[in-house]
Structure 1
Amino acid sequence: MRIASLLPAATEIVGALGLADDLVAVTFECDRPEGIRATRPVVVDTALSAGLTPGEIDAVVRERAARGLPQYELDRDALRDAAPDLVLTQDLCRVCALPESTVTEALADLHLDAAVLTIDPHTLDEVLDAVAAVARAAGAPDAGTDLVAGLQDRLTAIDQAVRQRPRPRVLALEWVDPPFLPGHWVPAMVRRAGGEPLAGIDGGRSVATTWDRIADEAPDVVLVAPCGFGLDDAVAQAGAVREHLQDTPIVAIDSASYVVRAGPRLVDGIEAIAHALHPEVVPAPPPGRIRALS
C-alpha cells in the first residue's frame, strides 16, 4: 500500500508498525522513522518563517487565522506524483497540521482515488485507538494489536511503580509567551506519570492563562513542554517561567517528540516525566528527553 502521511504522528505510527517502506509522502516535520524526511517527497510545509520567538509565532498564527490564511502549504503536484492509496491526516488542530478539508479538496481536484483516514485523538486512550486504526487502514491489524499491547504494558509498569508514591502538583505549560495551559492528553500523561495535573483540561483544547493565575495554583513542579519545540528550546524558554516562579522546581521536556505528538512516543514521554517526579522508583530515560533545572 502507498501511504501519504500528512501528520508527523501518523508517520511515526506507520514506522512503529514496521510499514515505513510503504510511505510515499511525508511532511516537513516528519522525523520518525529516522531519516524518513530525506528519502520521501515532502508534500506539506509550514507557512511560518524560521527563527521566530514564541511570542512572534503566537502573533503570526493569530494574524493568519484572523485573515483566514492557512498555517501550512500543501504541494499538490508532489502529492499527485506520489499517487497514494491511503492518506493519513487530521482535523484536531489547524495550528498543528494541515486540516482534513484541505486534503479532501486537493484529492478531488487531483482526481486521486485514495482512502483518507483522519486521526483526531483527544485523550491518551484515543491515541492508542488511533494507532490501531492506522494499522487496520494500512492492512496490518495484527501489528497494531501487538504495538498497542506493548505500549499498554509499559503504562501498567509505570502505574505500579508510582502507585504508592506522593503525587506532586504539576503545572504543565504548552507555551510560555503567552502562557498556555495544556489540554488533550497532556493532563493524563502527568497523571499516569504519578503527578496531579493542575489547571489542564482533559480531552479539551489548551487555553491561554496569566502568570498571576499560574502563581495562584502554587504548583510543586512546573513542566515546560512548549508545543513543537525540542529539549534545548524548552530549557531556554524555561527562563521565562523562572522570572515568575523563582522558587518552584522546573522540568523541561522535548515536547515535540514526547508530549504533543499523538504517537507511540507519548509513552516515552510519560516514562520520562515519571522519572522526573519519582526518580527513586522509575529508571532514568535516555539523555535528551527531559531535564530538571536548578
Structure 2
Amino acid sequence: MRIASLLPAATEIVGALGLADDLVAVTFECDEPAGIRERRPVVVDTALPSGLTPGEIDAVVRDRAARGLPQYELDRDALHAAAPDLVLTQDLCRVCALPESTVAEALTDLEIDAHVLTVDPHTLDEVLDAVAAVARAADAEPAGEELVGDLRARLRHLDDVLADRPRPRVLALEWVDPPFLPGHWVPTMVRRAGGEPLAGVEGGRSVATRWDDARALAPDVVLVAPCGFGLDDAVAQAAVVREQLPDVALVAVDSASYVVRAGPRLVDGIEAIAHALHPDAVPAPPPGRVRRLEPS
C-alpha cells in the first residue's frame, strides 16, 4: 500500500507499525522514523518564516489566522506524483498541521482516488485508538494490536510503580510567550507520570493564561513543554519561566517528539516525565528527552 502521511504523528505511527517502506509522501516535520523526510518526497511545508522567537511565532500565527491565511503549504504536484492509496491527515489543530479540508480539496482537484483517514485524537486513550485505526487502514491490524498492547502494558507498569507515591503539583505549559495551559492529552500525561496537573483542559484545547494566575496555582514543578520544540529549546525557554517563578523546580522536555505529537512516543514522554518527578522510582530515559532544572 502506498501511504501519504500529511501529519508527523501519523508518520511515526506508520513507522512503529513496521510500514516505513510503504510511505510515499511525508511532511517537513516528519523525523520519525529517523531520516524519513530525506528518503521520501516532502509534500507539506510551513508557511511561516524561520528564526522567529516564541512571541513572534505567536504573533504571526494569530495574524495569519485572522486574515484567513494558511499556516502550511501543500505541494500538489508532488502529492499527485506520489499516487497514494491511503492518505493520513488531521483536523485537530490548524496551527499544528495541514487541515483535512485542504487535503480533501486537493485530492478532488488532482483526481486522486485514495482512502483518507483523519486522525483526530483528543485524549491519551484516543491516541492509542488512532494507532489501531491506522493499522487497520494500512492492512496491518495484527501489528497494531501488538503495538497498542505493549504501550498499554508500559502504562500499567508505571501506574503500579507510582501508585502510592506523593504527587507533586505540576503546572504544564505548552508555550511561554504568552504562557499557554495544556490541553488534549497533556494533563493526563502529567497524571500518569505521577504528578497532579494544576490546570488545563483534558481533551480540550490549550488556552492562554497570565503569569499572575500561574503563580497563584502554587506549583511544585513547572513542566516546560513548548509545542513543536525539542529539549535544547525547551531548556532555553525555561529561562522565561524562571523569571516568573524563580523558586519552582522546572522540568524541560522534548515536547516536539514526546508531548504534543499524538503517536506511540507519548508513552516514552510519560516515562521521561515520571523519571523527572520521581527519579528514585523510575529509571532514567535515554539522553535528550527531559531535564530537571532546580531553583538556584
Q: TM-score range by the shorter chain?
A: over 0.9
Distance across 2 between alignment mates of 1:40 and 1:143: 23
Q: 1:200: how far off? A: 1.1
Indicate yes or no: 2:56 matched with 1:63.
Answer: no
Distance across 2 between alignment mates of 1:198 and 1:10: 30
TM (normalized to structure 2)?
A: 0.99
Distance across 2 between alignment mates of 1:248 and 1:200: 19
Q: Equivalent residue for 2:134?
A: 134
Q: Equivalent residue for 1:191?
A: 191
Instruction: Give the AA of the match of 1:99.
Output: P
Partner deviation per Cα, 1:19-65 (whole Å, 9 max, x = no partner) = 00000000000000001000100000000111100000000000000
Q: Equivalent residue for 2:231?
A: 231
**Sequence identity, in percent?**
82
Distance across 2 between alignment mates of 1:112 and 1:166: 54
Partner deviation per Cα, 1:70-110 (whole Å, 9 max, x = no partner) = 00000000000000000000000000000000000000000
Distance across 1 between alignment mates of 2:274 and 2:168: 11
**Stretches of structure 2 lacking an aligned partner (at least 5 in a row):** none
Partner deviation per Cα, 1:174-200 (whole Å, 9 max, x = no partner) = 000000000000000000001000111
Q: Equivalent residue for 2:20?
A: 20
Matches within 5 A, 1:1-294: 1-294=1-294
SS in 2 for 1:222: strand
Q: 1:261: how far off? A: 0.1
Distance across 2 between alignment mates of 1:288 and 1:154: 20
Distance across 2 between alignment mates of 1:178 and 1:274: 26
Distance across 2 between alignment mates of 1:156 and 1:89: 30
Distance across 1 between alignment mates of 2:104 and 2:115: 10
SS in 1 for 2:170: strand
SS in 2 for 1:250: strand
Q: 1:286: how far off? A: 0.4
SS in 1 for 2:201: coil
Instruction: Give the AA of the match of 1:15.
Output: G
Distance across 2 between alignment mates of 1:292 and 1:274: 11
SS in 1 for 2:222: strand
Task: Give RMSD over aligned pairs.
Answer: 0.4
Distance across 2 between alignment mates of 1:195 and 1:231: 20
Instruction: Give the AA of the match of 1:227.
Output: C
Distance across 2 between alignment mates of 1:278 and 1:233: 23
Partner deviation per Cα, 1:153-208 (whole Å, 9 max, x = no partner) = 10011101100100100000000000000000000000000100011110000000
Partner deviation per Cα, 1:110-131 (whole Å, 9 max, x = no partner) = 0000000000000000000000
Instruction: Give the AA of the match of 2:31.
Output: D
Moved over 4 A (4+): none
Distance across 1 between alignment mates of 2:199 and 2:190: 12
SS in 2 for 1:113: coil
Distance across 1 between alignment mates of 2:171 and 2:20: 36
SS in 2 for 1:13: helix
**Number of equivalences:** 294
SS in 2 for 1:285: coil
